[in-house]
Amino acid sequence: MTPPNDSGTLPYEIHTNRELEFMLERGKPLAHFYDAYPSEPDEEIFPEQAFAPYVENGRFVKREFVEPLREPPKGHPHVRGVRHLLYARTGEAWRIDAYIMMKAAAAKAGWSEGFERLQGSLLGYEEWQTDVHLERLRASPHARNFYWLRKPTTKQQ
């Protein structure tokens, strides 16, 4: 049974909250988790205990890093950054470095459809799934808040 998701019915199963299952049973190559830093240990946000046996036996590679913030978010003076936790299948460990480089490039250039597509690919989504995801984002009521979702208009000459 497919778990409910906040995006309605999709023609594919989303990986969210099923990363370990998908990595073990379906070949998902990379999982990414993130939250405020510092934060309290929370297995629902960072499922380190669930992934630990597979890291210990060499099936998965684990990497984490903290992305520092210039200033804390309003109302959260204790937050100093964003903690990122990544797991890759051992043969797909290159995806961790690619993901980190993607995040660094996006921090400089700004998030874009290209980065959204790269992220989907690194996480194991197929191109057609990313196409569907982007179309759903564009149709959402929040699309206007994300400049990169708006397709540039071209003038006919």
Task: Give dist(CA 105, CA 83) in Å, integer.
Answer: 17
Domain count, the chain: 1
Residue 87: inside a domain? yes
Ranges of the chain with pLDDT below 50? 1-7, 153-157
The pLDDT assigned to 15 comes to 80
Domain-located, residue 102 = yes
- Token pair in block for residue 109: 């250039």
| pLDDT digits 0-9 by tens, 7-22 | 457 888 888 889 999 9
- CA-to-CA distance for 111 and 93, rounded, in angstroms? 23
Full domain range(s) for residue 37? 19-70+79-140
> How far apart are the C-alpha atoms of 29 and 22, rounded to whole Å?
9
Global pTM? 0.84
In a domain, 38, yes or no: yes
Give residue for tokens 């023609």. 11
Residue-level pLDDT at 152: 52
CA distance 123 to 114: 14
Q: Which of 3, 7, 4 is nearest to 142 (CA)?
A: 7
The pLDDT, as a whole number, for residue 43 is: 92
Specify the pLDDT at position 8: 59
Looking at residue 17, what is its pLDDT? 84
> What pLDDT shows up at residue 5?
44
